[in-house]
Amino acid sequence: MTLASPSAEDSITALVADLERYNSAYRSGTPLIDDNHYDRLVERLRRLDPSHPFLHQVEPERFSGKRPVRHPEPMLSTQKAYEPKQLERFVERVAKAAVEIGLVAEQVRYRITPKLDGLAGRDDGRVFASRGNGLMGYDITSAFEKGVVPVGGRGKGVGEIVAVKSYFDAELADHFDHPRNMVVGIVSAERDALNENAARALDAGMVHFVPYGQLPCREIDGGTLQANAWHLSADLAAEVDYPLDGAVAEAVDPALKAHMGATTHHYRWQIAVKSKGETGKTTVREVQWQVGRTGKLTPVMAVDPLPLSGATIRRVTAHNAAKVREEGIGPGARIEVIRSGEVIPKLEAVLAPADRVDLPEDCPVCGERLHWAKSPQTGKDVFLVCGNFACGAQLKERLRHWFRTLGTADWYGVKTIERLVASGVDSLEKLYTQTQEDFVAMGFGPVQSENLVQALSISRTEPIEDWRFLAAFGISNLGLGDSRKLLAHCAFEALRTLDHDQIKAIKGFGDTKSANIIADLAQLAPLMDHMLALGFNLQRTPLAAESPVIESPIAGKGIVFTGKLRSGSRSDLQAQARELGARVQTAVAKSTDYLVCGEKVGAKKIAKAEALGVQTLTEAAYLDLIRVA
């Protein structure tokens, strides 16, 4: 039985469009929903499409007219735990990583601090930069000139601009919906154009930049973290007079943090502790199906209205087709759901299966015959898939995925792409031939048409990593991290020559993943060749097997730069060290050979290096060393 096409509000496309709209409003200081609501929508998207690019990028913030600034280290988002099981899995991952580098799992220490709800930034003492997209922010140093108070002084690193909560509640709550609204306005506006109430708060010294290192904290072991995280979060909140959004827990040991590293979205050694929502029981009325970018169908349950946490729930995701089939999800099924501010909550359990389960045989959008696809993790049939590459739902999502993943050009939002596809511009090949006149003919205004053309030009000319370019094509099971790993073994132009065994031989690529990648590479090869021929400014990934042998005193050596450096910025020295064949690291570990120290280096870092047998060099000694090359 083929069910009706899902309504727009239930589709992944609509969900991501809502998330982008909510995030844009939040970043501009005019939030439309609360943080719990937003976080739960993100978690819903994670369940519907774990590989969706929105989940693997830092939600961007933009300040027009501000100078772009590249961060020396990424400012990433934070993974979240709403319930003890999620926190337990985090602690288990950290413990496993600790054992891998020779630490005792039971002795791993964690630091938990309040999670500020403000505008994130990094202050190195010279430039104060907003988070931006995590890699590139904006110079907002003028915030200090306007009156933002740097708690603890300048140059204290990463933190957030926040209003003093008690002052805001007493003096400003009638003028702003949320303290963050005021903060964003302060950063965005010139001093003489500030809102008078925001100016009053600045004059009173009630807007602060709070470095995370200045916050109260507790240092605890893993068992205490699991048992008391939410209580500790509440205790810490009582010590801080700023807007908060839970707490942040992270591993303390620098070597452990360096070993665990990060995804493109978050640090693996850190997690946010947030409140869990209310649960309730309801009955399924109907299962509807939505089509994603890669053709996967996601089931959404229409349920009897369920009052939960102040809202009436009518839609719940059922995750995937296999879950529908195996757990008996259909009309009449009784289910338990959980909600913490979200519109479409999480399915906790199927309490009583339906008498019948109907799975669609044809795509609800284009009518193509569906087929089963295996999970890369289990190798079992999990997803129903529409194999029609020209399916309308997939076309729109692929175009949006392209621009989201490249991250170098604006203007191509969901409404724009819907109009493009409706006008017959349903592929990247067609899109990149469009002129300003073409866009005007489709109904876009002259200014927007000019912006759309300029955005296409920027996407070609701005430097972009080849692995990001590859990931933007939306190849199944090939996200940003795996794209980088693949291109370290094979140049972009030679990808089509790879066979299943060659890809499978790369660490992290199993049978199913390799087969999916091979199939998509074959299908997308003409498009990839076409886009490559347009002259994108690709930054190439060095091939691991063909990297030239570099002869230098630091070739193959692990190097950490710390302190205030005089001979150049830290990023400049790191880039130079990489060119000389060094393994640049961000924290001292057993694999570190040299700790290069500028001015004002903390005694603990030097003591850590000495304890691990790492050689400490002054900046001058390091420069003398590499001059031998």
Catalytic residue numbers, as ranges: 115
DSSP code, position 328? T
Q: Distance of CA 324 to CAs 9, 58, 284, 303, Å?
A: 21, 32, 12, 14
Q: Can you list the positions of beta strands (E) in 51-165?
A: 68-70, 80-81, 109-116, 119-123, 128-130, 136-138, 149-150, 157-163
Contact 76, 63 (CB under 8 A): no
User: Who's near 435: CB < 8 A, 6+ residues apart?
Assistant: 453
Q: Distance of CA 97 to CAs 101, 202, 224, Å?
A: 7, 45, 19
At 314 the three-state DSSP class reads strand
> For residue 575, what is the enclosing H or E element?
helix 570-579
3-state secondary structure 392-456: HHHHHHHHHHHHHHHCCCCCCCHHHHHHHHHCCCCCHHHHCCCCHHHHHHCCCCHHHHHHHHHHH
User: Who's near 340: CB < 8 A, 6+ residues apart?
Assistant: 36, 39, 40, 82, 274, 275, 276, 277, 278, 309
**CA 86 centroid distance within chain:** 18
First to last CA, the chain: 71
Return d(Cα 83, Cα 40) in angstroms, integer.
13
Return d(Cα 186, Cα 241) in angstroms, integer.
20
Instruction: Please compute Rg for the chain using Cα positions.
Output: 26
3-state helix, strand, coil in the chain (%, to 5): 40, 20, 40
Return d(Cα 116, Cα 113) in angstroms, integer.
9
Contact 115, 247 (CB under 8 A): yes
Q: Could you tell me which of 362, 456, 363, 443 has the C-alpha nearest to residue 409? A: 456
In terms of DSSP bridges, do strands 157-163 and 207-211 run parallel, antiparallel, or are they unpaired?
antiparallel
Return d(Cα 321, Cα 425) in angstroms, integer.
31
Q: Can you list the positions of beta strands (E) in 73-188?
A: 80-81, 109-116, 119-123, 128-130, 136-138, 149-150, 157-163
Q: Could you tell me which of 351, 302, 305 has the C-alpha nearest to residue 328? A: 351
